[in-house]
Structure 1
Amino acid sequence: MNFLPSDLIVDGARLSYRDCGEGKPVVFVHGTPSYSYEWRNVVPHVEAAGHRAITYDLLGYGRSERPVDRDTSVAAQTDLLAGLLDALDIKQTAIVAHDIGGAIGQRFAIAHPERVRRLMIIDTVSYDSWPSETWSKIIEEQLEEHTRLPQEAFDTLLTRQLEMTVSDGTATMTDDVLDAYLAPHRSALGRVSFFEHQVRHYNSRYTEEITDQLGSLTMPVHILWGERDQWQPLTYAHQLAADIPGAHLTVVPGAGHFVMEDAPERVTAEILGFLADQGPSSNGPCPE
């Protein structure tokens, strides 16, 4: 399945995306180490329920362009999200965002509250919750060395990280699923891109600098979290729920950081429930 069948130029960069359905839109923003593949068991059901769903790969991720000299930080990705919406002539949208995508969603909602109808953040980075000790050490001491890793060593490193994203890595993050998450990095360019476009920009300043502004959010906010998230502890979910006025927190029992891998049906149900008052619409043709 070619999950993202189209490309669009936004601010001079090529983004791969999927836009299916009619009516009020909802934009899905993925996290790291990931790309739009993480939504494959969720987005088609949202589309089938009659919502217009826009799914895309962040710049430097997945099928989108991997520019040599381009800022792909959370701040820059937030600006690109605004550009993507402009290019698609979307004035206002719901946003469903995971991991660093959640940071992008938070920043976009704070900067452009009139453009966000509602916001769902899933196991998001926030405050000082990131990067982990492992990634911090790599960023500070070993980044250049890691960009030169041979494929086998890189696969071992990323596989170990991916296994931590789900509740049972040896059962879930295997075979075709693991291969799909590794696929964008199965080349020298892909390996370098992972560290230059993703890891280099793991920096909590992008969330810490908006902490005092979370209280300004007035749109409906739903926080969804895996109970067994090893990367973003549940304490951060409760802190977000306390700091964002009226935010609703749902914890998914037994699920890890990639909650859409551990519990795709539950995630889909939560999203559809959150979008319910938007009302379904007639659905246009969707890519197979």
Structure 2
Amino acid sequence: MTLLTDNLIVDGVRLAYRDRGQGEPVIFVHGTPSHSYEWRDVVPHIEAAGFRAVTYDLLGYGLSERPVDRDTSVAAQTDLLEHVLNALGIDHVSIVAHDIGGAIGQRFALAHPERVRRLMIIDSVSYDSWPSSTWQKIINENLADFTSMPQDAFNALLTRQLTMTVADDTLMAGDVLQAYLEPHQSALGRVSFFEHQVRHYDSTYTEEISDKLGHLTMPVRIVWGEDDQWQPLHYAKRLSNAIPNADLVVVPGAGHFVMEDAPERVVHEIIDFLGTPPW
């Protein structure tokens, strides 16, 4: 399924995006190693429930531009999120964000609290939780010479990692697995993956805001797969203790890509949360 439908030029770069539905705006920010495909079983239901849903591929990810001379770190993607909202004429928004998208959401909400109605973070990176041990090993072994990696070796590496994102590994197979691998099926795709994603797996971006999380005053809901192998549940509990009045929802039988293991539950939590009065 192709979720994204259009392209948007913001701050001199092209982002693939989707802007559908009527009503209160909510923006979806995906994680890594991923793209907006992860929201395919979620976003249409949010649109149908009466919300304006905006979904986009981060710069350097999926169908968006892969520039050779632009910072694609969490900090830079946070700045770009502001440009996206401005370009779409959205002054106030609810944010639903996964993985590194969660770090982007946290940083944006702290920098622009007056613009964020609600913040939902799903299996987010936080504190010193990232990169995971398996990603750190990949960084140590491959980041210096990834340009010489054959396609088969790259696919095997990424498949091993993607299989870890779900509690039921039969869900990360066939067409679904291919959709996650698709953006990287070329030399440019492989280089982009390491340069735009892996090179920026850096907990500095979350550690430097860890003592500010108590300043978040908008409604916050934390949704977490109980069996997340990359972001263990104790980080979700730490976040919920640090953020005033945050709700913590633990989804049993789900891993890091909780929207793959339990899409109906994710849809339910989002719609329920969007019904929470802001501020």
Aligning the two structures, in what range does the TM-score lie when normalised by the shorter sequence? Answer: over 0.9
Write the distance in 1 (CA, Å) between the matches of 2:258 and 2:24. Answer: 25
**Which is worse superposed, 180-189 or 130-139?**
130-139
**Which is worse superposed, 219-228 or 128-137?**
128-137
Write the distance in 1 (CA, Å) between the matches of 2:149 and 2:116. Answer: 41
Does the CA-based 8 Å contact 1:24-1:278 persist in structure 2? no
Write the distance in 1 (CA, Å) between the matches of 2:254 and 2:99. Answer: 14
User: After superposition, what is the alpha-carbon deviation per residue over 1:17-53, rounded to whole angstroms, capped at 9, x for unaligned?
Assistant: 0000122100000000000000000000000111000
Does the CA-based 8 Å contact 2:132-2:231 persist in structure 1? no
SS at match of 2:63: coil
* Per-residue deviation, 1:162: 0.2
Pairing 1:118-267 to 2, within 5 Å after superposition:
118-169=118-169, 171-267=170-266
* Per-residue deviation, 1:144: 2.9
Cα RMSD of the aligned pairs, angstroms, is: 1.2
* Per-residue deviation, 1:141: 4.9
1:22 aligned residue: 22
User: After superposition, what is the alpha-carbon deviation per residue over 1:226-274, rounded to whole angstroms, capped at 9, x for unaligned?
Assistant: 0000000000000000000000000000100000000000000000000
Write the distance in 2 (CA, Å) between the matches of 1:263 and 1:11. Answer: 35
Structure 1 outlier segments of 4+, above 6 Å: none
Give the total of aligned pairs.
Answer: 278
1:283 aligned residue: none
One-letter amino acid matched to 1:65: E
Residues 228/163 of structure 1: CA separation in 2 closer, same or farther (3 Å cut) = same
* Per-residue deviation, 1:10: 0.9
Write the distance in 2 (CA, Å) between the matches of 1:227 and 1:134. Answer: 19
Write the distance in 2 (CA, Å) between the matches of 1:272 and 1:147. Answer: 43
1:117 aligned residue: 117
Write the distance in 1 (CA, Å) between the matches of 2:172 and 2:9. Answer: 33
Write the distance in 2 (CA, Å) between the matches of 1:73 and 1:16. Answer: 18
* Per-residue deviation, 1:277: 4.2
One-letter amino acid matched to 2:51: H
Normalising by structure 1, report the TM-score: 0.94
Residues 50/278 of structure 1: CA separation in 2 closer, same or farther (3 Å cut) = farther
* Per-residue deviation, 1:2: 3.0
SS at match of 2:275: helix
2:58 aligned residue: 58
Write the distance in 1 (CA, Å) between the matches of 2:222 and 2:73. Answer: 23
1:87 aligned residue: 87
User: After superposition, what is the alpha-carbon deviation per residue over 1:154-204, rounded to whole angstroms, capped at 9, x for unaligned?
Assistant: 0000000000000022x1111000010000001110010000000000000
SS at match of 1:14: strand
Write the distance in 1 (CA, Å) between the matches of 2:127 and 2:276. Answer: 30
Higher relative contact order (CA 8 A, sep 6+): 1
* Per-residue deviation, 1:145: 1.6
* Per-residue deviation, 1:142: 2.8
> Structure 1 regions of 5+ residues with no counterpart?
280-288
Normalising by structure 2, report the TM-score: 0.97
One-letter amino acid matched to 2:42: V
* Per-residue deviation, 1:150: 0.8
**Identity in percent:** 73
Does the CA-based 8 Å contact 2:166-2:172 persist in structure 1? yes
* Per-residue deviation, 1:3: 1.3
One-letter amino acid matched to 1:256: G
User: After superposition, what is the alpha-carbon deviation per residue over 1:127-164, rounded to whole angstroms, capped at 9, x for unaligned?
Assistant: 00000223223334530322321110000000000000
Does the CA-based 8 Å contact 1:28-1:54 persist in structure 2? yes
